[in-house]
Amino acid sequence: MEHILEEAKSISAEIAEWRRHLHQTPELGLETPKTSAYIVQELKKMGVEDIRERVGGWGVAALVKGEKPGKTLAIRADCDALPIKEETGLPFASKNGLMHACGHDAHTAMALGAAKLLLAHKAELAGTVKFIFQPAEENVQGAKAMIDDGVMENPHVDALIGLHTGCLWKEVGNGEIGVRFGSLMAAVDRFVVTFKGKGGHGATPHLAVDPVTMTATAVLELQTILSRELSPLDAAVLTVGRIEGGKSFNIIPESCLIEGTVRTLNPSTRAFVEERLRAVVSRVADGMRGEAEVEYESGPPPLINDTDFTRTFQAFAARLAGAEKVKEIGEPTMGGEDVAYFLEMVPGTFFVHGSCAPEKGQVYPHHNPKFDVDEETFPLGSALFAGFALTWQQ
């Protein structure tokens, strides 16, 4: 596979053009009909015949079948954007009020590049490569929707690989590759607690049951779950991001609610925090003569890279790009990624693709209206996908 990176570089203009088209026409969530149509159009142009559309909504699954027997590797690329007005000033900037401010346009373009490379190497390819073009990563709905619609079957997926581009981890510079063994990103859960009491006049609180006081007490006490009930070495975050209750300065309302998120890296910690959250808010409400109704929504699980599979990828990446370009990520992030649903089902790895060039002004973080990535790094991503697909079973 010593030539796969050079082959990827030879189609760099095409990869960039795919990215630019997608960048100009961003779509949100599960509603990505134009994005999906473009992906299908380009796959057909390059000669991919086995394409399944409308998977879990507007997802696309495409197969490149090798001429040798073997297993099925999935390559996942997310393709949705964000409700952000772009401020990059790029000639191909979005003009519809939405923006690819997280690099998903690049992810999709690099996966399309890998498909084109693999079509040229079908004779050497063992098994099948299934490309999963997934909408709705940003609202963590797309992966589960595609799984529920059978994307991991026909043929059955044996392993999966994906990447995130940009400058998410300081260890991974432009044109470098980041790997991590085990937990890379956190589980993402959401909760809403509604405290119910008895409304009344602010001048006579003893005649009311005050849900605002319940709420204030609970917000503080919830933090003791992390500070006093978990080991300091067990990473977890509990953030209350919304408080809503009351409409007047002198009226005690009937109810008050809080909404927030819990992030954990360990499945057992995840279950423990949910259990304790429910217990704490109920105890606070009971102690103040009120009630607490809890809605707890479990999102993607922790993103856990399979150790053996990741070691295989790390060795391949070092051969392809040079060992000095492959960095081991020291710490996970408490951000989440719904590729974790796939990696919960099959072994695989989610790696980091460094693509921010400070000399080009690419210094802005993800989800920023000025976010941009270096197109010169795209061939590396395509080559990593395609080359690994050609060698992982050897």
CA atoms 182, 184, 186, 187: torsion sign = negative
Handedness of CA 109, 114, 115, 116 (dihedral sign): positive
Count Cα atoms within 13 angstroms, Cβ side, for 119.
Answer: 17
Contact 294, 193 (CB under 8 A): yes
Contacts of 29 (CB under 8 A, 6+ apart): 80, 135, 136, 138, 139, 141, 142
Annotated catalytic residue, options 7, 42, 78, 80: 80
Q: Tell me which amino acid residue 115 is.
A: A
DSSP state of 376: G
Which residues, in sequence order, are CB contacts of 16 under 8 Å at separation 6+? 109, 375, 378
CA 102 vs. chain centroid, Å, equals 10
- Of 137, 138, 338, 375, the catalytic one is 137
Q: How far apart are CA 156 and CA 347, in angstroms?
A: 13
Angle at which helix 104-119 crosses helix 33-46, to 10 degrees, equals 20
Q: What are the two backbone dihedrals, phi and then psi, of residue 226, each rounded to the nearest 5 degrees?
A: -80, -40
Whole-angstrom distance, CA of residue 323 vs CA of residue 314: 9
Contact 208, 199 (CB under 8 A): yes
- Does 87 participate in catalysis according to the annotation? no
Tell me if residue 50 is catalytic.
no
DSSP 80: -
- Identify the bridge partners of residue 349 per DSSP, sorted by sequence position: 161
d(CA 330, CA 385): 23
Q: How many CA within 13 A on the CB side of residue 361?
A: 7
Active site residues: 80, 137
